[in-house]
């Protein structure tokens, strides 16, 4: 399976038209159609449904699209790594992270490294620990920033000297907003909005001292900004990490920590025995320098 043919296939999937894809690829339609037919014959699967107005993907085609995107991304990442030199480091650094203020450490390291190596560029992917580790295992990202409990034994890692604190985001005019902190029993009868990662976090439900099936979970979220919009409308209470939503000034939201305090560890992880690119190695050294500032 030629990587070039996978790029052709992705172009057709993106354009939903062999004609438009051929134009984008600056080639004629017949050879493109032939390459796609050969790919289907090689795999023994129909990948495309060729309609009169547009081309759609079969179920097998959708699977190939996902894998092809990963392969092409990995190829481009490898090319960028090999073209970098020691004297003038350039290339792409791929980072995966959950929502946490800890990302500011990455930003600080990137800014300081940019002063020495301005040709290094960054790609940031957001997701919970499971998604970050999946991309890390496939070699699609260089570093992951994991929040909370996760199996990091298969990775090299740096533990951040700070922790995130769990709490509740609610409307400022809510009666619970008058409390200094929120206890588990305060939430047992409340409509809760929790992150997808929290929904499988045994530590959180141990703190809540309640069976998940007995809690009134009205929504789940990936991005805290989106969840906050539901809170503004009085839809529910978000269980979230601190410092992600601005609740100062004229904000009609407030954040109250949990009691007893529940905190999340933060880890920077990368694959064991991985040969880092020059850009990634320089970034790792910069991260280590930033962490030394906390000592």
C-alpha distances in Å from residue 168, one per residue of 113, 178, 203, 261, 272? 36, 13, 16, 12, 36
Binned at pLDDT 50, 70 and 90, residue 232 comes out as: very high
The predicted structure's pLDDT at residue 247:
94
In this prediction the pTM is: 0.71
Peptide bond into 260 cis (omega under 30): yes
The predicted structure's pLDDT at residue 89:
83
Tokens of 53: 């107005």
Give the CA dihedral 226, 228, 229, 235, nearest 10 degrees: 120
pLDDT at 210 exceeding the cut of 90: no
Binned at pLDDT 50, 70 and 90, residue 139 comes out as: confident
Q: Which residues of 192-211 are buried (b: 16+ CB within 10 A; e: fewer)?
A: bbbbebbeebeebbebbeee
- The residue ranking higher by pLDDT, 172 or 91, is 172
pLDDT at 199 exceeding the cut of 60: no
Q: What's the distance, CA 55 to chain centroid?
A: 30
Instruction: State mean pLDDT over 100-121.
Output: 92
Compute φ and ψ for 274, nearest 5 degrees.
-80, 135
């Amino acid at each position: 399976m030629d990587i070039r043919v996978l790029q052709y296939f992705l172009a057709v999937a993106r354009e939903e038209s062999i004609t438009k894809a051929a134009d984008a690829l600056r080639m004629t339609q017949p050879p493109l159609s032939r390459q796609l037919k050969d790919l289907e014959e090689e795999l023994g699967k129909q990948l495309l449904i060729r309609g009169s107005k547009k081309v759609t993907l079969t179920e097998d085609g959708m699977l190939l699209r996902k894998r092809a995107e990963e392969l092409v991304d990995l190829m481009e990442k490898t090319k960028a790594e090999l073209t970098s030199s020691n004297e003038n480091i350039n290339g792409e650094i791929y980072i995966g992270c959950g929502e946490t203020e800890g990302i500011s450490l990455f930003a600080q390291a990137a800014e300081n490294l940019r002063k020495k190596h301005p040709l290094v560029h960054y790609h940031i992917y957001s997701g919970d620990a499971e998604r970050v580790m999946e991309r890390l295992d496939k070699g699609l990202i260089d570093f992951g920033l994991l929040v909370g409990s996760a199996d990091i034994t298969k990775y090299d890692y740096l533990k951040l000297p700070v922790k995130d604190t769990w709490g509740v985001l609610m409307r400022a005019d809510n009666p619970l907003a008058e409390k200094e902190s929120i206890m588990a029993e305060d939430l047992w009868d409340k409509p809760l909005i929790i992150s997808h990662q929290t929904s499988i976090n045994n530590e959180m439900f141990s703190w809540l001292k309640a069976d998940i099936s007995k809690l009134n979970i009205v929504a789940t979220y990936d991005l805290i900004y989106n969840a906050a919009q539901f809170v503004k409308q009085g839809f529910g209470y978000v269980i979230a990490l601190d410092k992600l939503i601005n609740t100062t000034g004229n904000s009609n939201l407030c954040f109250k920590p949990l009691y007893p305090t529940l905190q999340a560890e933060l880890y920077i992880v990368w694959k064991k025995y991985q040969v880092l690119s020059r850009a990634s190695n320089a970034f790792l050294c910069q991260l280590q320098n930033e962490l030394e500032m906390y000592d």
